[in-house]
């Protein structure tokens, strides 16, 4: 190999190294939740949810348990979203017991109880967490069922069918897998 070819090879190698270093630096800038992760306590786990939003949704929890199908699920989580004001704590979502782990779909995060299902979404425009849809059942003293629902903040009388539709969405959603480190923290919708 002559000196001219060695020089070309060396320059090409340096360019490749520079591009790799630039890509690594760019990747670090792409994780806007770094300051939030740095402040988590030893017992706090987190997950990034790949949803129908511009950025990942970050959720954290310090109350993990084995759901039977997911070894690191939770019944409550704090939700963060990176918007125009940076990474913002949008609030907490909580289910009512270990039979109802927090889960997600492309367009919502679910919480549930023995008498209700709630689906939360994020307004990217306002950078706020809101109750997108909910369905509840209550029983009177004679055991008669009464259904109500909430859609975009508006409460109304409902039906068993509407309740079952949202219950089916919850059953089809994916339990959030929380992680104590970067390995396994990104949750994507798994198509079966």
- Per-residue pLDDT of 85-136, as tens digits, reads 789 999 999 999 999 999 999 999 999 999 999 999 999 998 999 999 999 9
Q: Check residue 189 and give its pLDDT.
A: 66
Domain count, the chain: 2
State the residue range of the domain holding 173.
34-187
Nearest-angstrom CA–CA distance, 77 and 100 = 13
The first and second tokens of residue 102, run together, are 């927090």
Mark whether 176 and 128 lie in a shared domain. yes
Mark whether 14 and 94 lie in a shared domain. no
> What residues does 79 pair with on adjacent strands?
59, 91
Task: Give mean pLDDT, residues 75-84.
Answer: 94
Mark whether 40 and 123 lie in a shared domain. yes
Task: Give mean pLDDT, residues 55-84.
Answer: 91
Give the global pTM. Answer: 0.79
Model confidence at 144: pLDDT above 60: yes
Mark whether 55 and 145 lie in a shared domain. yes
Mark whether 83 and 147 lie in a shared domain. yes
Mark whether 25 and 42 lie in a shared domain. no
Mark whether 149 and 78 lie in a shared domain. yes
Do residues 91 and 162 make contact, with C-beta atoms less than 8 angstroms apart?
Answer: no
- SS3 string, the chain, reads CCHHHHHHHHHHHHHHHHHHHHHHHHHHHHCCCHHHHHCCCCCCEEEEECCCCCCCEEEEECCEECCCCCCCEECEEEEEEEECCEEEEEEEEECCCCCCCCEEECCEEEEEECCEEEEEEEECCCCEEEEEEEEEEEECCCCCEEEEEEECCEEEECCHHHHHHHHHHHHHCEECCCECCCCCCEECCCCC
Nearest-angstrom CA–CA distance, 97 and 127 = 28
Is position 192 within any domain?
no
Mark whether 39 and 26 lie in a shared domain. no
Mark whether 41 and 90 lie in a shared domain. yes
């Amino acid at each position: 190999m002559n000196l001219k070819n060695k020089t070309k090879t060396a320059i090409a190698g340096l360019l490749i190294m520079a591009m790799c270093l630039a890509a690594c630096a760019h990747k670090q800038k792409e994780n806007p939740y770094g300051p939030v992760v740095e402040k988590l306590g030893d017992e706090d786990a987190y997950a990034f949810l790949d949803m129908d939003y511009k950025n990942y949704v970050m959720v954290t929890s310090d109350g993990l348990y084995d759901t039977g199908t997911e070894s690191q699920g939770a019944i409550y989580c704090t939700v963060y979203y990176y918007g125009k004001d940076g990474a913002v704590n949008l609030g907490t979502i909580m289910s009512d017991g270990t039979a109802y782990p927090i889960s997600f779909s492309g367009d919502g995060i679910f919480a549930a109880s023995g008498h209700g299902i709630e689906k939360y979404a994020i307004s990217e425009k306002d950078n706020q967490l809101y109750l997108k849809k909910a369905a509840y059942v209550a029983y009177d003293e004679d055991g008669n069922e009464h259904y109500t629902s909430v859609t975009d903040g508006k409460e109304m009388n409902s039906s068993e069918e509407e309740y079952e539709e949202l219950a089916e969405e919850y059953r089809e959603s994916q339990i959030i897998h929380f992680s104590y480190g970067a390995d396994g923290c990104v949750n994507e919708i798994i198509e079966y």
